[in-house]
Structure 1
Amino acid sequence: MTNPATTSLWNATAHRSTRRSAAPGTATRYDAIVVGAGVVGLTTALQLGREGRSVLVLEAREVGSGVTGSTTGKVTAAHGLRYSLLRRDIGAERTRLYAQANQHAVGWIRDLIMTEELACDWRDRPAFTYTSDPSQRGTLEDEARATIEAGLPAHEVHAVPAPTRLVAGVRVDGGGELHGPNYCLGLAHLAEHAGATIAEGVRVTGVREGAPCRVQTQDAGTFEAEHVVIATHVPILDRGLYFARLEPQRSYAIAARVGHALPLGSFYDVAEPSRSVRTATGPDGEELVVVGGEGHGVGKVSDTAERYARLEAWSAEQLGTGEVTHRWSSQDPQTPDRAPYVGPLRPGSTRLWTATGFGKWGLSAGTAAAHAIAGSIAGRSDEYAALWNPSRLGQLKPRAAARLALWNTETPLFLVGDRLRPARRGGVGELQPGEGRVVRHDGRRTAAFRDEEGVVHAHSPLCTHLGCEVHFNGAEQSWDCPCHASRFDARDGSVLEGPAVQPLAPRDAG
C-alpha cells in the first residue's frame, strides 16, 4: 500500500498501463526464477532471456515501484566518499575492480537506453562529489586522488559551478540521470520480448534449494526452477544471515519547483548534513529540482517528519525553490567494507543467487551485479568475484570487522530494551489522527495507528522476521523494525520492506 503523502516523483509519473497478471500462467517450471522486479531482477531476467533461458520474474508489488522507484535516479560510478574508503577497507586492486564494474554498468545502461530508445528521461550528466565545508578540503582532495587512481574518467575540481559553494571536489564523466520506474518498465518490456514472464502482485514466501529449486508464493502456488535469484534488495531468505551483515540506512528526498536555471550535473555535497541535488522533469513538463539527504538507521529515530522539513528549508534557502511537489524516502543497506555482496546466497550454493548491499548506489552497482549473476548461471566465471564474494567475512580488515561487530551489538539492545520500555498509557483512545504508538491494549503491547479518518488499526508490535518490536514512522505512516529494517504498512500491516515476508499479526482495536 502506498502513502500518497510520500510518493516519489518517479512513482507518481511512471508510464504504467495494464498490470501484469498476478497469475504467471500454466507453466510451473523454468530455467530461472527471479524474485523482485527492480533493476537487479529485470536486468538479470533480460540477460538470461537473451541467452535463450526460460525465466519467471515474481514481484510482490509493481515493476520498479520499490527501491528503484525511490532513488534519486543518478547513474554514475561516483559514489560519494567511496573510493578513499574502499582503498582503505579493501585495498587498491579491489577498489579498481569496483570502479571498473560500475563504470561498465553505467555504459551498458546508457547504450541500452540509446539503442532501444527507452523512454526514461535519460540525461547525460557529469557527477560532482564535493564539499562546501572548508575543513573537509583535505578529505575531498584524497577522494579525488583515490577516484582517479581507481581508473574512472575523473579529475579534481575547485571552481566548477555547483548548487552550493564548492571548496574542493572531484568530477566523474560518462554518467547520467534517469527515471527509475520508467527505466524498469523498459527493461520489463525487453525481457518479455526475450521470452521472460513477469508477474506482479505475487509475494514469494520461501525457497527450497534443490534440483530443482521450489519457490513458494503467498497466493499463486509453487514454482520450480534450476536457478533462483533473490533480487529483493535485502534477501528475504535468512540463509546466509545477510540481515546480520548489513546496516540499512533510510534517507529522504523532495522535488520542488525552481524558477531559475541550476548548474547541469549530478551533485553530492558531503558536508554535514550531506545533500544530493539534480534536476528532473515534472508531471507537466516543468523543471524541478530533486534534493536528497537526512539519512539515518532504519527505525532508530522518531523525528522522521522533520527530515522533510529540513530538506525543504535548505532547498529554499540555498536553491531558491518554491512549492514542494513530492516527498519520499528510501532505504538501502551497506556492507561493513562498502563493497556489495553478489553471488551464491550461501557458501556451497550453486542454484541460489543474490545481490545486496549497494549503499545507495544500486542503479550502477545493481546492474553490474545482475550481469555477474546471469553470467554465473550460464557457467561463466565472475571476473569481479574477488570484489564482492558474499563469503568474504573472514577477509575483513580490522576497521570493517569492528563496524560489523558494532552493528550487531544494537540488535539485542532493541530486542530486549523495547520490550522492557513501558507502553504508552491511555491506550488507543488517546491516539490523534496520523499518530501511531505501541500501547497497552487488552493487557498486551499493541502497535496502534489512527488514520486521518479516525479509524484505529491495531497489530502485534513484533516484527515477523525475528521478533524485534517495531517503531512508528510518522512521515511514512509505517511500522519500522530497528533490528533488521523490515517495514510494515500502518493500516493493514502488509510488508513494505524485507527481510520479513509475513505481515504484522492483526489485533482487535475495539
Structure 2
Amino acid sequence: MRDATMNPFLAMKSESYWLALPGKTSYPKLTSDLKVDVLVVGGGITGVTAALLIRDTGKTVALVEKYSIGGAETGHTTAHLTYMTDTRLSDLASDFDEEHALASWDAGAHAIDQIRKLVERHQIDCEFKLVPGYLAEAANTKDREEEQDKLRQEAELAARHGFDVAYLDSIPPLGRAGIRFANQAKFHPIKYLRALAVQAANTGVQIFENSSVDSFEEEPARAVIGDYSITYDHVIIATHMPLQGNVGTLSALLLQTKLYAYSTYALEATAPFGSLPEIIWSDTAEPFNYLRVDRNAEGDVIVYGGKDHKTGQEPDTEKCYNELTRDLMALVPDAKVNHRWSGQVIETLDGLPFIGEAGDGQFLATGFSGNGLTFGTLAAMMASDYASGKKNPWTELFDPHRKALTSAWDYAKENASYPYYMARDWAKGTEAGDVNALPCHAGKIIRHHGKRVAAYRNEDGEVTLLSPVCPHLGCIVHWNDAEQTWDCPCHGSRFSGDGKVMSGPAEKDLSEIEE
C-alpha cells in the first residue's frame, strides 16, 4: 500500500540543489486533538513565516505540513528575491494604472526587507546578500529599438516613484540593453526556512510534519487530519495551490479557473571563480530565462532556469533540460552541471497574486508567479495582520475576490498607518560617498566602507557617522536640510545632526558608528 505521507518530490528523477543540503527536519506527526487560535496549513515560506509572525502577536498557532518543511515548491525555487514582477511594469500600468502597478513592486520591496529583518533578528546563516538585479532585452528580440524604448520607459516610471533603477545600454553578463535594479537579494531558501521553523517552534508554534488535512468542517471550524482534528478561529491556507477549505465547491472552482500552473526548469552548475558577476538576472524572452550567481571559496555557483510551459502540455520535458544546458554552456563553457530540477509556478489572469480572505475566518495565498519567495513572505505578513484584525495596505490590491481595481483606490492613504516608507527606503540604493566632500552643516546617507551610514559634518568640520536606522521601528531616516535634522518618515521621530533624539516616538539616539 502506498504511503500517503511519502513526499512525491523525493521520487523525482532530478534533485533540487537546495534540498541536497545535509540534514532534515524531524517534527512529529499529529497524534491528538488540538484547539488553537490560528491553524496554518503548509510548511513552505508562506506558512512558516506566517506562523512565526502570528505567534509573535501572542496567538496560539499550529502548523501542519503534508510532507516536510520546505520540501515542496519552496525547495524547488531558484531563490531570487526581487520586487520586479514577472508581468512587466508597463503591462501592469496599462491593465490597472501606475499606482496599482507600483504598489505591487512596493509590496515586494517590503517583503525583501521583512526577510532581511528576520535574518538579522534571529542571526540566520542562510547566505542572505543584497545584489544588483537586471532585466535584459531578449536575445531574439525582433524590434530592438521598440523593446529598448519600453525598457527605458519602465525604468523612468519606476525611478520617478523612488525606486533605485536605471536603464543601461549594456548590462552583464551579455552586454544587452536593460534595467539595473539596486538592492535585490538572494539567499539559501532551505537554510533560511529550517532556521525560521526552529525559531517558530521555540516561540511556541506547534509544528506537525507528515500531517495531511483530509477535510475541513464547520461549527466548530476544524481541520480533520487522519484520526485527529485541530479546531481554530482562523485558518491560513498556504499550500501553493489552495485547498478548498469551507468556502464551498462553487467558489473554489471559480477560483481555480483564475489560476494557471506552469512548470519551470533549473540547473545548478559550478564554474571557475569570477566566470560571471554575482547578480540575479532575467530577460524579456517568452518564456523568459533567469540566472543567479553565488560565489564561494571554490568558485562560482550558477543557477540557471527557464523553458516554462503549462504543466502537462510539453510532451518532451527532457528537451527543456537539454536546451537549458546548451544555453548555459554557451554562456559559461567551463560550467559543470551538478543538479537539475523542475518546479511549478501559479499564474493569475491579471498578473497579481491572490492574497486575502477567501471565506469567513479563512485566508489564502496563491498565484505568486515567479515571485514565490517575496510574495510568499508578503502573504505571511498580510496573514498576520488578518489574524490580528489589523488593516493592511495591500488588502484590496491582492483581494482574491477582486474583479476590477478602481482608480479611487488611494495607496498613500492606505499606508497612512503602515510602515510604508520602511520598504521604500530599504529598496533605494545608497551612493558611495567621500565624507571629506561633505560640507559643514550638511548630512547625507552614503555608503562608507561598505556600510550605509548617516554622515553629518558640524560647523567646526567634525564628522559624525551614524546608523541611519531609526531605533523606533527600523525605518531609514532622511536628512532635513532646512532644519538640520534627521527625520523619520514613518512615525515622525526627529534627531539632531549628531544623532541625539529630539522628539519621539523613538526613545533612543541614533547609534554612532566607529570609523
TM-score by length of 1: 0.72
Please give the alpha-carbon distance, in whole angstroms, between the structure 1 residues aligned to 2:315 and 2:157.
Answer: 37
- Would you say 1:270 and 2:284 are equivalent positions? yes
For the residue of structure 2 that corresponds to 1:86, the secondary structure is: helix
Post-superposition CA distance 1:417-443 (Å, at most 9, x none)? xxxxxxxxxxxxxxxxxxxxxxxxxxx
Measured in 2, the distance between the counterparts of 1:356 and 1:285 equals 38
Deviation (angstroms), 1:18 = 4.7
SS at match of 1:42: helix
1:365 deviates by: 1.2
- Check 1:245–1:310 CA distance in 2 against 1; reply closer, same or farther (3 A cut): same
Map 1:25-424 to 2 at 5 A: 26=32, 28-133=34-139, 135=144, 136-160=147-171, 162-167=172-177, 169-210=178-219, 212-217=220-225, 219-237=226-244, 239-241=251-253, 242-261=255-274, 262-272=276-286, 274-280=288-294, 286-345=299-358, 349-393=359-403
Instruction: Report the secondary structure of 2:346's partner residue.
Output: strand
Aligned to 1:419: none
Structure 1 residues 163 and 321: alpha-carbon distance in aligned structure 2, compared to 1, 3 A threshold: farther
Deviation (angstroms), 1:228: 0.7
Contact residue 94 and residue 386 of structure 1 kept, 8 A: no
Q: Distance in 1 between matches of 2:240 and 2:129?
A: 25
The structural deviation recorded for 1:280 is 3.4
Aligned-residue offset at 1:396: 9.5
Distance 1:245 1:396 in 2: 19
Q: Deviations over 1:200-241 (max 9, x none)?
A: 11111222344x411012x35221111111100110215433
CA–CA separation in structure 2 for the residues paired with 1:83 and 1:326: 32
The separation in 1 between residues aligned to 2:385 and 2:199, in whole angstroms, is 18
**Alignment partners' CA distance in 2, 1:172 and 1:359:** 19
**How big is the shift at 1:80?**
4.3
8 Å contact from structure 2 (residues 288, 307) kept in 1: yes
Q: 2:180 aligns to what SS in structure 1?
A: strand
1:203–1:163 Cα change, 3 Å: same
| Secondary structure in structure 2 of the residue aligned to 1:288 | strand
Report the secondary structure of 1:216's partner residue: strand
AA partner of residue 391 (structure 2)? S
Cα distance, 1:286 vs structure 2: 5.0
Partner of 1:223: helix, strand, or coil? strand
Q: Which runs of 5+ in 1 are unaligned?
A: 398-510
Deviation at 1:95, TM superposition (A): 1.5
Distance (Å, rounded) in 2 between the aligned partners of 1:286 and 1:140:
33
Match of 1:159, SS state, is: strand
Shift of 1:120: 1.4
* Partner amino acid, structure 1, of 2:317: T
Runs of at least 4 residues off by over 4 Å: 394-397
Which has the greater radius of gyration?
A: 2
Cα deviation code 1:154-193 (max 9, x no counterpart): 2222233x122322x1122222111111111121111112
Secondary structure (helix, strand or coil) at the match of 2:170 reads: coil
Whole-Å separation in 1 of the counterparts to 2:12 and 2:346: 25
8 Å Cα contact 1:59/1:203 also seen in 2: yes
The residue number in structure 1 matching 2:16 is 8
Question: Aligned residue for 2:445?
Answer: none
Equivalences for 1:443-454 in 2 at 5 Å?
none
- Matched with 1:432 is none
Taking structure 1 as reference, are residues 394 and 86 closer, same or farther at Cα in structure 2, changes over 3 Å only? Answer: closer
Counterparts of 2:406 and 2:95, CA distance in 1: 8
Q: Residues of 1 paired with 2:349 and 2:161: CA distance?
A: 20
Cα distance change on mapping 1:313 and 1:204 into 2, 3 Å: same
Aligned to 1:401: none
Tell me: CA distance 1:307–1:270, structure 2 relative to 1, closer, same or farther (3 Å): same
Unaligned runs of 5+ in 2: 1-7, 408-515
The one-letter code sitting in structure 2 at the alignment partner of 1:224 is T
Deviation sequence 1:377-406 (CA, Å, 0-9, x none): 101112112211111125599xxxxxxxxx
Distance between the aligned counterparts of 2:242 and 2:182, measured in 1?
A: 32
Query: Which amino acid in the other structure matches residue 347 of structure 2?
Result: Q
Residues 95 and 150, structure 1, Cα contact 8 Å, conserved in 2: no
| TM-score, reference length from structure 2 | 0.71
Which letter does structure 2 place at the counterpart of 1:189? V
Structure 1 CA distance, aligned partners of 2:295 and 2:198? 23
| Percentage of identical aligned residues | 27
CA 379–259 in structure 1, closer or farther in 2 if over 3 Å, else same: same
Report the Cα distance in structure 1 between the residues aligned to 2:405 and 2:113, rounded to whole angstroms. 31
Taking only aligned residues, the RMSD between alpha carbons, in angstroms, comes to 2.1
